[in-house]
Chain A
C-alpha cells in the first residue's frame, strides 16, 4: 500500500441498515412501516446487496507540504483545498481510497426506475450506503496495517466534489489509485462510472 496502490477485488461489508433507513427518510418512533412493507423492503435490500459487487483501491503516500491552500504529496500531486488541508493537520501521510458498487446494481436501478421507482430508490440507497461502507472498510484495513508501525488513520475523510475540493482532483485520485483495475472509468467531465463510485482522502497520523 505504500509502494503503490493495492486493489481489493471483493470487499465484504455488513448491510448498513441504519444508514440505509436514514437515507430513505425513516424516523425512528415516527415512521410507520407495517410488516408487509418491511418484508418488501427487506427483499429489495437483499436483492440490492446481492447485485452490489464492492471493489476498491487504497494507497498510502507521504505529505511533502501542508499549507493553507492545500496539500502536496510526495510525488508532487497537489490537492488544492483549504478544508482538506485543515483535516490533514498533524498528518504525515494520506490514505487515498476509491470504491465502487459495480454496474449490475445500477442496471437494475435503471430498469426498475421505469415502472417501480419505489424499489429503485431502495436499491439506490443500498448501493450508496454500501459504497460508503466500503470506504470505511478500507480505512479499517489500513488502520490494521499501520498500527504495527505505531501509526493510525484519521477518523474523518474527504471526497472530491464536496466542500472546496474540486472535482478536477478526481482525475489525480483515479491515476494514483489506478481505478481502472477495479472497473471504474472516468468521463471527460471527471465523473466516475459506475455511478456509485467514490474516492476519498483520509490522513495518516503517527511516526515520521
Chain B
C-alpha cells in the first residue's frame, strides 16, 4: 500500500484531524509583526518546534509545515532568494518534530500575485515558482502536500499541476470563500471542486475567512458532487476588537461543538485556521473521536466548469446547448481578427450565445494562416475573461489542445477524441492529465461509419481504452455522428438509433452537431429544429448548435417540456410569458386611436423608434406644429416628469421619454418657424460643470429636460473655468446660469463662480445641482437649487417668471 492509499484508508476510518493556526501561535510566542513567519521560524527553530509539538500533543493527525509564504515572490520581499532551501529546511524540521506521531503536510499558500488571464503573472512562471517550493518540501520529507487559503482558481491550478508534475503524492487543496460564498476570484465551491478534483486533487475543501457556522454550508454544497474527501479548516469565529487588539471570539468548546455539523455536512478532514490554538484542536479531537465521516457519495460525475460556473450533465435534465458560433469557417470578420491576434468578436460571440441560452461554448480557431498552438490558448484566455460558460475546446492539433487545456481555469470538454489509432492514446493521455471530459467521436480506420451498429462498436472500443486512463462513462459524451440527409436519406435514422443506444443501453451522454443534418437543403432551420426534437425524444443530452436561431431554441424548450425535463413547463411558460409582455409599438397597430393620442403615448412610453412616423402622419393630416408641441408633447413630458417624481418612472425611462420628445421636436422645429410661431423659447440657460470637475452626465440630463420644455440651452461642457463662464454669460445674456458639481471640494468652486460673476456685473439668476449639492448650500451662495432634471424645469420656470414679474 503506498502512502496515498494509507492516508485514504485513515480517512475512511475516521475524521483526520488537522492542526490549527501557526501565525497567531508564533505571535503569541513572541514573533513581532511585519516579519516573515518562515524566516522567523528558521531563525527560532525551538519556537516552531514547540508550535508543532503542541498540536501533536493536542491530537492533530497532520501538522502543516511552516512554509505557507515560502515561495520566491513572498520571500523576495524579505530578502530571501533560495525558496527551495527554505522549504527543505522547514519541512525537515516539521518532519523531525513529528517523528512517527503524525503526518507532515507541506504547506503551500498564495504568491500574492494573480495569474493570467486574471493577472499579470504568467501561468508557467506560477508553475515554476510552485515547483521550486514543492521540490524543497519533498526533499524535506513531507508525507503529503496542502495547497491552502487560495483565492484564485488559476493560481491554485498552477500549484496543483506543479505538485502532480513533481511527484505522485497525496494533495489536498482548500480555497477561501467570502460571505457571498465565492472566492475573491469569483469561484464558487462547486466549480472549484469540479475543477480541482478532476485535475487530481485527493481532497478538496475550504479554509479561513469564515467561522464554522459559515463554513458548514459550503461543505454541504460540495458533498453531492465530491469524488474525493472534503476538508474544512475554519477560523475560531470572527475577529473582534478589544482595547485596540483583535481577538477571535470562539472558544475551544464552542468551536469543537461544530464538529458533528461538519461531519454530517460531509467533511472528512477537520482542523482550525486563524485564531485557533492547540486547545481548539484538543477539543476537536475529543469531539471527532466518536464521529464516522461519510465517504464520497459519487465515484464519477458528468460536469464541466469554468472559473465561475458549473454545468452538470444529468439524465432527465433539459437538453444542453453547446454554442457553435466561435468558429472562423465562413466568417470573414472573425478570420481577419484572428489573423491580427484580436479577440473582440470572440468575446461578443460568447456573450451573445450565452444570452440566447447556450450553456457551453465550443471554441474553434482552426484556419489557414494562423498558428493554432498560439491562437487557441489566447482565445481561451479571452473567453475566460468574457464569460463564465464552460468551454468545449475544438481542435485536431494535439499541441494546440494541450496549450489550451493547460491554461483553461476549469474542467473543459475536448472536441473530440476518435478511434483513430495513431492519435487516440496521446489524446486520452492528455485528457487524463488535465482532467477533461471528452466527446467520443466514433470514427476509426479513416472512414465515416454509416451504420449505427458500426458506430457502437467504435464507441465500445474507444471506451475500453479510455478506462485504462481512469475514465468512466460519466467522463464522455458520445457524438452520435450527424450526416447530411440530402446525401443519405437514412442518415438521420442511424444517428437517432445511436443516440437511443447510448442513452438506454450503453449509458452515456450524447451530442450531435445539429446543422450537419440539413447540409445542402433549403430552409435548414426547420430540418435542424425537427432533428433536435427527434433527438431529444431518443434521449439526446447535448446539441452543438447556433442558439441565436429562434426556431431551434424554441423547439428545444418545447422538447424539454415533452421529455419531462422541464417540470410543469416552468421554464417554457416563463420564457414565453416574458416575450408576451413586450409592449406593442405605438405606430400602425391601434389605428382607431387618434394621432395626437399616439404621439402622447410615444412620449410617455419612450418609443424613440416610432415617434417620427406618427409626427409626420399628424402633420400630413393638417395638425399644426405649434398645437402638437403645446397641446400634446409638452403635456406628455410633464406627465413623465410627474411619474418620475412619484418614482413610478426611474432615470432610464425619464430619459427615453425625453429623447423621444427631442426627436419629435426636432422634426417640428422647421415647421414652427414656417408657421411664424417661432420655437417660442421660454428662456435661455447656460449650463456648465464647474472648474475642476469632469462629471457631466447629470448636467446633460438637465439640458435635455430643459430643451424639451422649450428652453434654449447653451452647454459649455465640463471643467469650465470662471473666466470662460463669465465670457459666455456676456456673449449669450442668459436668463439663468446653471452649475453642476459632483464632489464636495468642487462644489466650493460654485461659490467662487457666483462671486466672480457678481463682481463682473453678471446679475442673472444662478441654479445649482449635483450629487453632493444641498438646498442649504445653494441658498448660502445665493443660488436656486434643483435636485434633478425635472425639478430644474420647474425652478427655471419660477426664476424666469419672477424675472418678468
Contact = CB atoms under 8 A, between A and B. Distances in A.
B114 interface: yes
Interface string A111-130: 00101111111101100000
Nearest to B695: A195
Given A24-B650, A36-B582, A144-B151, A92 B244 contact: yes
Interface stretch (B4-12, B397-405, B618-626, B740-748): B740-748
A37 B653 contact: yes
A49 to B, nearest CB: 9
Contacts of B246: 150-152, 205-207
Nearest to B788: A25
Nearest to B307: A12
B592 interface: no
B740 to A, nearest CB: 14
Nearest to B693: A191
B112 interface: yes
A25 B650 contact: yes
Contact of A117 (B185, B235, B647, B701): B701
A167 B184 contact: no
Given A117-B659, A121-B701, A150-B246, A140 B178 contact: yes
Contacts of B244: 90, 92, 205-206, 208
B351 A46 contact: yes
Given A8-B114, A147-B209, A149-B23, A191 B692 contact: yes
Given A35-B582, A120-B697, A167 B745 contact: yes
A117 B655 contact: yes
Contacts of B649: 31-32
A109 B697 contact: yes
A107 B120 CA distance: 25
A14 B180 contact: yes
A12 B186 contact: yes
Nearest to B721: A189
Contacts of B117: 10
B648 A118 contact: no
Nearest to B387: A50
Given A41-B652, A50-B351, A195-B694, A10 B581 contact: no
A46 B182 CA distance: 21
A116 to B, nearest CB: 7
Contacts of A113: 697, 700
B447 interface: no
Interface size class of A (residues with CB under 8 A): 35 or more
Interface string B650-673: 111101101100000000000000
A36 B581 contact: yes
B693 A27 contact: no
A41 B650 CA distance: 12
A40 B34 CA distance: 51
B665 to A, nearest CB: 14
Query: Which label, helix, strand, loop or mixed, suits the secondary structure of the B interface?
Result: loop
Interface stretch (A94-102, A158-166, A172-180): A158-166
A162 B741 CA distance: 12
Given A121-B652, A150-B24, A50 B245 contact: no
Contacts of B157: none
B275 A144 contact: no
Contacts of A50: 347, 351, 386
Contact of A148 (B245, B274, B656): B274
Given A113-B697, A118-B659, A150-B239, A30 B647 contact: yes
A118 B654 CA distance: 8
A67 interface: no
Interface string A8-48: 11101110000001001111001111111101110100100
B745 A161 contact: yes
A116 B659 contact: yes
A8 B117 CA distance: 12
Contacts of B486: none
A123 to B, nearest CB: 9
Contacts of A162: 743-745, 772
Nearest to A6: B112
A189 B745 CA distance: 11
B684 interface: no
Contacts of B692: 167, 189-191
Contacts of B114: 8-10
B444 interface: no
B275 to A, nearest CB: 7
A75 interface: no
Contact of B241 (A8, A12, A206): A206
Interface in B688-715: 691-695, 697, 700-701, 704
B67 to A, nearest CB: 14
B27 interface: yes
A34 B653 CA distance: 11
B719 A189 contact: yes
- A-B complex: 7 closest residue pairs judged by Cβ atoms: A35-B581, A206-B246, A161-B743, A25-B650, A27-B647, A118-B655, A167-B745
Interface of A: 1-3, 6-10, 12-14, 21, 24-27, 30-37, 39-41, 43, 46, 50, 90, 92, 109, 113, 115-122, 124-125, 137, 140-141, 144, 147-152, 160-163, 166-167, 187, 189-191, 193, 195, 205-208
10 contacts: A3-B77, A30-B647, A37-B653, A118-B659, A148-B23, A167-B743, A167-B746, A191-B694, A206-B239, A206-B245
